[in-house]
Structure 1
């Protein structure tokens, strides 16, 4: 059995007994490690073991959770384990049911081979068992439907449960026949029709198509046309979205466009029971369309015909906890294994995808090469929003809100229109400081400053979760007045309330939208025009369509221009393009105001010109010149411990092992403190390795894992392949 635990860096399977249960290779069962239950993948089934002294100590399988998973899905998990450098058990945990929950209510029951043997041996005097056994005959294919169990006595129902527990019965799930899908899509523009035809031309085998369209160009309608075609061919379709908050609105659009399609939704915020039911609906084939966030790339679809990745550039497709996979890249591997097409949709494609498209164009068209499809104009009569760069300095209303932006909001309030103000920071202010001596509130457990939250009058560390009260005076010099430095969503909300006391203002960030249905409720209030001004973080920038929203203001956009993260400017361009697309999507004209102190920066020049291609080419050339992804492959080795010397000892050995293993195929940089060098009392360091080719880097990392497993360092450490988070 493979369990989702990092038992060691290389990984090993665990053995369990199955008694008289019938388990399938690549099936899912529930086992325990210690006292905790886990869903495990069956990777081998042995016959009866004899002469083994330890066999009696093996734990039994608790119950069967599902039949065999598609072989291709197990192969995909092996790819994740190999490429992302994790034990196979950790990767197998991505494809098994959630929280070791059993399948939902079946539509029937069928005898296993062990069950038939049991039925044949029931003594004549066991009347209840013989009565139950009489229902399972060759005429019924040794199966009964659930309706038949209504006629059973209480004793027979109890026997049914006992037989299932003994492994003599397996649940049967309905396999509904596909129904014809008649898409309810708006009339296509000529550009949309050409794009839809280009996608359909590659619908029968593996290929990757980049659907690159400006916001409002109708990308969603174009790929839904292909989705309907694949569904009508009797196949399942997987649609990935980057954020949970996008899922409800997209589901509404999909169900309206594709009425009657059985749909399953998969994301990490579902309750265990909901996620489990969705998993089994996909596995049984009942769910034809699967919509979800990154984890849905491992949905157990047995008849997959198409994968669509919406907003393919979005960094949230990268998992930042082990296994640290990238859902876009895994989806392409899965599609290639299944010989089905992939559609990548974005207004600002990732540089990885752009480089692949450019390479395919240079090499000439091939059946599986990246296909480039452009939608350069909006699909509706709405004109693109006008973009303005406004000074971030000078006379302000309050809390970083410029006079120009405030005037724009006031004008919208008079016209009964809505405004969105985006700042990429939650909390009241990034830091609390003393204007007299410069003291600022530190986290005692991290090398970071505490964030001021005005609503609860508390200081919180967004890294380790530590909290404390707000001091009444400066702890360093005793000055009686402490102030918040910088702008957070709470501070901006307070400034807007003061500036526009009669306006209906709502805040959207992870602090204010913590409830399960909080975003759906806010979304419906905005659509109903019960909100005049929305202030929040980048969750507001993606995919939402609010007809009355005509002004978007961006505060504190400059931080990304000088970030140490080499992807920061790429992410800023994508974010500003997305948020600009929220304004003026219907009949009302839209305007976007970006507050900046650097209006001459190339990012803003490209943004004003709507020149993604120029920006991408310039940024890609810069990456290639200095050997950064996507021109190279990168891996980050992290380690942390409360013992700083243990971290130093680890990297002394790890650096030497990795350098020798990689040799002339790449470069290993010297270890250094992480950007947040101390977190929750842990000392944190990292080490980066780059190589032009995948295989030498992968082999060197495997050598490192094997060496460190033998050394047993007293640190927590991990490998992150293709890292996005360097904190």
Structure 2
């Protein structure tokens, strides 16, 4: 493989053993790998450096884990060691053998007496029971296509429950897209199975916490691991069941380092380790939807996933009525349309909660001088600095550069500099003004709260703010997509999307899919408690303010018809030979100048054609172009798209091209090149 290093050891060590080895002047963590994958014999007279120490008391990482890491490294074009060590807890990488031994000697918390006792099991609906029965009797993988509020989480719980009861050594892996969804789901699993049976695993934990969870999973003490995308690499020797909740979410794709898809690796791992895999979503990714297509006369084989459908909400709750507002017919610069403002006022006066979605944080995207056309551009990026009114700062959301808001225009001195556009901070301020005369049923003023990345920086702030919403202490919730996913708000009866049009005109072919999913997920927060809605005597609503209210995305959203939306999008994808009907990779180059970045990509493309690399005849290499945000932190970025109708051909070519890219990288003609990387199955183009 050319990536393994050889060391001497006084005794044979089984593959998967964790060791400390010298590397240059440092001492680092290493994993003993399989002998049959080692490079050829060493040159005669080679003196091997000895292994510095073995992490005793830890069972070796098993073969399925090593195969997963090797596949991820091979498929995503990364070094084996990079993926293997990144998959281990960072705290473990810094421990010497004697420190690790002390760590293992620490007393563990007493086991929960109810750790393996199933509690609070609830009766299943007919649709839930049917889904569980198919999961139990068929091999999968499964795509659980269920409406928001249809009870997908209960299906996860019941399937895991049956698996744990059937096998006392079995383990389950439950993946969620974002950290803020982990505590909520963890509470439900802990309430059902006992706290000591469930461990979290995500980047929001401290190093010692992550190590503790990883060791519990590796030893089999933890029956259930619940975490974000990083948890797909958890060592689970008894793995029998994998759940990927909200499988459509782009957060499952790692965007730094090894750019893997945790969802796709979960499918691969399930097949290799004999574990059933359940993907769940109300708006599945088009790739998963296509992979779960039923057989037809034209396509007798159908897809490779089994599709399970749960269209009904629990308790006969209705999906929200979608109301579209043509903003071209509203007063210019209106924040909320007149009918939407009236609807929010009426809901608050009845004691109901409303949610207003704007997927852009800050006060305004840019400050602008009307006299000389100056804009608050970032000096280090080809992007604007966002105006944050709370701390009177201009902040770049790409490189983090922050300055105080100037008192006058830096270019012409005019004091007339004004914000352009709108973010959640401004929307909150304007809602406070528009609803200032509105009273709740107890005759107290309306209470408005904002949840976004700026208001949840402090530790525990996110949980505290969500608790306020659940308790009814908030009447109108303003936020970004953070508030739209997975939260079970029981008293929200109206959801409004105030500015969704930007995604309709994006250059990214996935933008309509993402917008539809976001709006469907947001709308699903309304009317989740059928009993409460019946007591209120009203129907839940979703309002969409748009200058293009008749767009196909909003037409299918109006009827909550995801299958129709998916069919229309898949027809367009097939005509354009886009995924899932083709397979893509991006090669990106970062350099001091755009000319160097694009020159490197052009030279690498020319070298591939000159060498007639294997697989090239089935791969199209497009010319290099700048990224949409082409400069970040004074680094110019360019990309080149690769497309192939066959995944195997693309992989074959990338494997052969890697050495050409490395050779091109060292060509003196490309001085100034900082880095290059390959992104297989990219989500953003």
> TM-score, with normalisation over the residues of structure 2?
0.88
Q: Does 1:12 align with 2:3?
A: yes
Once the 2 structures are TM-superposed, how far is the Cα of residue 87 of structure 1 from its aligned partner? 0.8
1:287 & 1:457 partners in 2: Cα distance?
Answer: 47
Q: Is the 8 A contact 2:199 2:222 kept in 1?
A: yes
Cα shift at 1:100? 2.5
Say if 1:298 and 1:399 are closer, same or farther in 2 by CA, change over 3 A. Answer: farther
Please give the per-residue CA displacement for 1:603-654, whole angstroms capped at 9, x wherever unaligned.
Answer: 1111111211111011011111111111100000000111444323311221
In structure 1, what is the Cα distance between the partners aligned to 2:524 and 2:266? 27
Counterpart of 1:532?
A: 475
Matched residues in 1 for 2:486 and 2:465: separation? 15
Q: C-alpha displacement at 1:436, in angstroms?
A: 3.2
Matches within 5 A, 1:230-309: 230-234=163-167, 235-259=170-194, 262-309=197-244
Partner of 1:89: 81
2:160–2:172 contact (8 Å) kept in structure 1: yes
2:507 to 564, 569, 580: 564
Rounded Cα–Cα distance in structure 2 between residues aligned with 1:173 and 1:312: 34
Q: Which residue number corresponds to residue 157 of structure 2?
A: 224
Alpha-carbon offset, residue 258 of structure 1: 3.4
Q: How does 1:699-710 map to 2 (within 5 A)?
A: 699-710=652-663
Cα distance in 1 for partners of 2:158, 2:408 equals 62
Equivalence map 1:419-434=2 (5 Å): 419-434=354-369
Confirm or deny that 1:599 pairs with 2:549.
yes
Which residue matches 1:197?
133
- Asked if 1:100 corresponds to 2:92, the answer is yes
Contact 1:181-1:232 within 8 A present in 2 as well: no
Is 1:183–1:225's contact at 8 Å kept on the other side of the alignment? no
Could you say which residue in structure 2 is the equivalent of 1:547?
Answer: 490
Task: Tell me, in whole angstroms, the C-alpha distance in 2 between the residues paired with 1:468 and 1:162.
Answer: 44
Could you give the per-residue CA deviations for residues 316-366 of structure 1, whole angstroms, max 9, x where no partner exists?
Answer: 111111210111110010011012211111111111011111265665579
Correspondence for 2:650: 697
Structure 2 residue matching 1:372: 3-state secondary structure: strand
Change (3 A) 1:175 1:546: closer
After TM superposition, give the deviation of residue 521 of structure 1 in Å.
1.0
Offset of 1:33 from its aligned partner?
4.8
Decide whether the 8 Å contact of 1:174 with 1:284 is kept in 2. Answer: no
The aligned runs of 1:99-138 (5 Å cut-off) are 99-100=91-92
TM-superposition CA deviations, 1:240-283 (whole Å, max 9, x none): 11111111111122223334660111111111110000000000
Question: 2: CA distance between counterparts of 1:671 and 1:163?
Answer: 48
Counterpart of 1:718?
A: 677
Q: Is the Cα–Cα contact under 8 Å of residues 423 and 537 in structure 1 kept in the other structure?
A: yes
Shift of 1:42: 1.7
Q: Following TM superposition, by how much is the alpha carbon of 1:63 offset from its aligned partner in structure 2, in angstroms?
A: 4.8
Give the equivalent residue in structure 1 for 2:442: none
> Following superposition of structure 1 onto structure 2, how do residues 657-676 of structure 1 map, counting pairs within 5 Å?
657-659=607-609, 660-661=612-613, 662-676=615-629
Shift of 1:19: 6.2
Q: 1:425 to 1:32 in 2, by over 3 A?
A: farther
Tell me the secondary structure at the aligned position of residue 141 of structure 2.
strand
Match of 2:516 in 1: 573
1:163 positional shift: 12
Task: Please state how far the C-alpha of 1:194 moved relative to its aligned partner.
Answer: 1.5
Contact persistence 1:637–1:686 (CA under 8 A): yes
Equivalent in the alignment of 1:522: 465
Looking at structure 1, the residues matched to 271 and 322 of structure 2 have their Cα atoms a distance apart, in angstroms, of 41
CA contact (8 A) 1:103 1:276 kept: no
Whether the 8 Å CA contact 1:634–1:688 is kept in 2: the answer is: yes
Instruction: Name 1:485's counterpart in structure 2.
Output: 420
* Distance in 1 of aligned mates of 2:641 and 2:98: 55
Q: 1:301: how far off? A: 0.4
- Does structure 2 conserve the Cα–Cα contact (< 8 Å) formed by 1:451 and 1:462? yes
Partner deviation per Cα, 1:25-71 (whole Å, 9 max, x = no partner): 2122345656766442222689xx99856546x67347558331120
Contact 1:639 1:684 in 2 (8 A): yes
1:494 has 2:447 as partner: no
In structure 2, do the counterparts of structure 1 residues 246 and 361 end up closer, same or farther at CA, with 3 Å as the change threshold?
farther
For residues 282 and 100 of structure 2, the distance between their equivalents in structure 1, rounded to whole angstroms, comes to: 55
Q: 1:342 aligns with which of 248, 272, 277?
A: 277
Kindly provide the CA deviation profile for residues 632-677 of structure 1, in whole angstroms up to 9, marking residues without a partner as x. 0000000011144432331122112344434320211001111111
Kept after mapping to 2: 8 A contact 1:173/1:284: no
Secondary structure, aligned partner of 1:534: strand
Say whether the 8 Å CA contact 1:246–1:544 is kept in structure 2: yes
Deviation, structure 1 residue 164 = 5.7
Corresponding position of 2:640: 687
**SS at 2:293's partner residue?**
helix
Q: Call closer, same or farther: CA 1:441–1:193 in 2, change over 3 Å.
A: same
Gaps of 5+ in 2: 437-444, 534-538, 667-672
- CA 1:645–1:191 in 2, change beyond 3 Å: closer, same or farther? closer
CA distance in 2, matches of 1:180, 1:480: 67
| C-alpha contact (below 8 Å) 2:362/2:388 kept by paired residues | yes
Whether the 8 Å contact between 2:214 and 2:235 is mirrored in structure 1 is: yes
Deviates further, 583-592 or 256-265: 256-265
1:52-91 alignment, distance < 5 Å:
52=45, 54-55=47-48, 60-61=52-53, 63=55, 66-91=58-83
> Contact 1:238 / 1:306 at 8 angstroms: preserved in 2?
yes
CA contact under 8 A between 2:494 and 2:542: conserved in structure 1?
A: yes
- Whether the aligned pair in 1 keeps the contact of 2:19 and 2:52 (CA below 8 Å) is no
Mapping of 1:293-372 within 5 angstroms?
A: 293-358=228-293, 364=300, 369-372=304-307
**Equivalent residue for 2:17?**
27
Structure 2 vs 1, CA of residues 336 and 221 (structure 1 numbering), >3 Å: closer, same or farther? same
For 2:225 and 2:45, locate their aligned partners in 1 and report how far apart those are by CA, in whole Å: 46
Residue 505 of structure 1: CA displacement? 1.9
Sort the Cα spacing of 1:163 and 1:511 in 2 relative to 1 into closer, same or farther, 3 A.
closer
2:19/2:51 contact within 8 Å kept: no
For 2:155 and 2:100, locate their aligned partners in 1 and report how far apart those are by CA, in whole Å: 50
The 10-residue stretch of structure 1 (503-512 or 708-717) with the greater mean CA deviation from structure 2: 708-717
Q: 1:624 to 1:503 in 2, by over 3 A?
A: same
Is this contact kept in 1: 2:594–2:626, CA < 8 A? no
Greater CA drift, 82-91 or 356-365: 356-365
Query: Is the CA contact 2:29–2:94 (under 8 Å) kept in the aligned structure 1?
Result: no
Q: Distance in 1 between matches of 2:274 and 2:291?
A: 19
- 1:500-511 aligned at under 5 Å gives the runs 500-501=435-436, 502-511=445-454
Unpaired runs of 5+ residues, structure 1, are 1-9, 105-159
